[in-house]
Amino acid sequence: MTGPQLHLNLFIHDTGHHEASWRLPGADPLSHVDVGYFEELARIAEGAGFDSVFLADSPVLWGDPGRRPSGRLEPTLLLAALARATSRIGLSATASTSYNEPYNLARRLASLDHLSGGRAGWNIVTTAGDEAARNFGLDAQPAHAERYRRAAEFVDVSRKLWDSWADDAIVADKARGVHTDPGRVFPVDHLGEHSSVAGPLNVPRSPQGHPLLVQAGSSEDGKEFAARYADAVFTAQPTLEEGQAFYADVKKRAADLGRDPESVKILPGIVPVLGETEDEARALDAELDRLIVPDYAVDQLARQLRVPPERLVLDEPLPAELPGEDEIEGAKSRYTLIVTLARRENLTVRQLIGRLGGGRGHRTFTGTPLQVADTIEHWFTSGAADGFNVMPAVLPAGLRSFVDTVLPILRSRGLFRTGYETSTLRGHYGLARPGASAIPSRDGDARRPRAVSP
């Protein structure tokens, strides 16, 4: 195929991204702890040629457990199982830099890359919220800027650890009795503001060199971090204009840092609610919204806006007086997205929770397969996206519908692959395998291997 190609990631979220999807008659409310369910979704996505599947995570129980399935299996363990159930699709998971240590996480990700044959990805998050902090011996979350400083150091140390083995370190010379050349395995000797790591890593360099690095914050700190480190960016952009502005901003920041902007893939979230006709799609959307329990939704919104729940009246707009973004130490960009959406469209609280219930602020699109395909193409060709983080409102039905009805349209337009051409996640994204950043030779000089083709 010729011409630019879309990148599509499947974001798996228990029974679907709509918070009431678990209440539909055909939904399995225990699917979030069923490895067979995740294997089924991963196989469907792989059969369709998706670049990757993605599992979100947090080191805290999400929201009110009465509201929707809230427990989560540890994602790197789950992805290890999916690595055996699939062969080509990428496998990405969220892991927090605030509540992990570089050595342990770098080891888990390198291990996953080996287990999967080079398909691991890491969604780097700093984790907002005092609830998570209290699970790790802290009274409150660190400040927003401090969390990003720690994240930058965390990624720098992780990359050093992944590079602490040369690609040719294992010689397996049976005749000489030498398995690994000790001169090709190196200490890290990192001493920084947030961590001290001697190294080397106790896992050999993995097939991709480094897992694919993904970032999902859209604050100023988040965009700067993405421009410096990310191979792909998951973002919530509800309008084309906002998507174009974000896309141009991150690409420019990457270029200003000396990176090729094309090496940073921007993937907004899209929540498709599909029907053979518009009326059928709207009927499913209305049924899902009818199943939202308002009390749970109002409490969740109040926590996001940092206001008492009693200030949110269902059939009135948001209160005129709300905290400014500068006062928010949690998820700044998501806070701004929610408030901007409500103000721009003059939504009542009831309408707002309906919009957020479908995709938590991501672009929700209700319509026919042709309309969804047209929207995806328009964003792709208008400088708003390199692809999409596909977030079906209902799983697995919404995924099957997208695969069976939307993808054929995109393929007929030459916008999406008909099959995999590479075997690694970096390869699917057209990204080079990074060479080790600075591997000393035996005489003390530094060897800096060039990146090789995927």
Beta strands per DSSP E along 252-331: 265-274
Q: What top-level class would CATH report for the domain 7-272+364-443?
A: alpha beta
Residues 6+ apart with CB under 8 A from 360: 17, 236, 334
**Residue 341 host element (H or E):** helix 332-344
- Using alpha carbons only, what angle is made at residue 37 by residues 34 and 39, rounded to the nearest 5 degrees? 110
The whole-number pLDDT of residue 201 equals: 98
- Of residues 416 and 318, the one with the higher pLDDT is 416
Binding residues for FMN: 57, 94, 144, 148, 218-219
The whole-number pLDDT of residue 444 equals: 41
Is it the case that residue 446 has pLDDT exceeding 70?
Answer: no
pLDDT grade, residue 392 (50/70/90)?
A: very high
pLDDT grade, residue 447 (50/70/90)?
A: very low
Which value, to the nearest 10 degrees, does the dihedral of the CA atoms of residues 261, 432, 402, 267 take?
A: -30
Query: In whole angstroms, what is the distance from residue 215 CA to residue 218 CA?
Result: 9
Q: What's phi and psi for 100, nearest 5 deg? A: -135, 175
Residues 6+ apart with CB under 8 A from 325: 332, 335, 336
The whole-number pLDDT of residue 144 equals: 85
Model confidence pLDDT, tens digit, residues 368-383: 999 999 999 999 999 9
* Residues shown for the chain: 454
Query: In whole angstroms, what is the distance from residue 20 CA to residue 423 CA?
Result: 36
Domain coordinates in residue numbering, the chain: 7-272+364-443
Binding residues: 57, 94, 144, 148, 218-219
Query: In whole angstroms, what is the distance from residue 433 CA to residue 148 CA?
Result: 26
Query: In whole angstroms, what is the distance from residue 178 CA to residue 102 CA?
Result: 30
pLDDT grade, residue 90 (50/70/90)?
A: very high
Query: In whole angstroms, what is the distance from residue 279 CA to residue 297 CA?
Result: 26
Residues 6+ apart with CB under 8 A from 410: 6, 373, 376, 377, 416
The whole-number pLDDT of residue 175 equals: 97
Look at the block and give the residue holding tokens 């040719």: 168
Query: In whole angstroms, what is the distance from residue 379 CA to residue 363 CA?
Result: 11
Query: Of all residues in the chain, what percent carry a pLDDT higher than 90?
Result: 67
Is it the case that residue 151 has pLDDT exceeding 60?
Answer: yes
Amino acid, res. 401: S
Helix (H, G, I), strand (E, B) or coil at 113: helix
Residues 6+ apart with CB under 8 A from 258: none
Residues 6+ apart with CB under 8 A from 196: 190
Residue 260 forms beta bridges with which residues? Answer: none
Residues 6+ apart with CB under 8 A from 213: 121, 122, 124, 155, 229, 230, 231, 232
Query: In whole angstroms, what is the distance from residue 301 CA to residue 243 CA?
Result: 24
**Residue 438 host element (H or E):** none
Query: In whole angstroms, what is the distance from residue 410 CA to residue 11 CA?
Result: 19
For the chain, first and last CA: distance in Å?
Answer: 17
Model confidence pLDDT, tens digit, residues 355-369: 666 655 577 888 999
Average pLDDT value for residue range 254-281 = 95
Q: Is the dihedral of CA 201, 202, 204, 206 positive or negative?
A: negative
Asked whether the beta carbons of 161 and 199 are under 8 A apart, the reply is yes
**Residue 234 host element (H or E):** strand 232-235
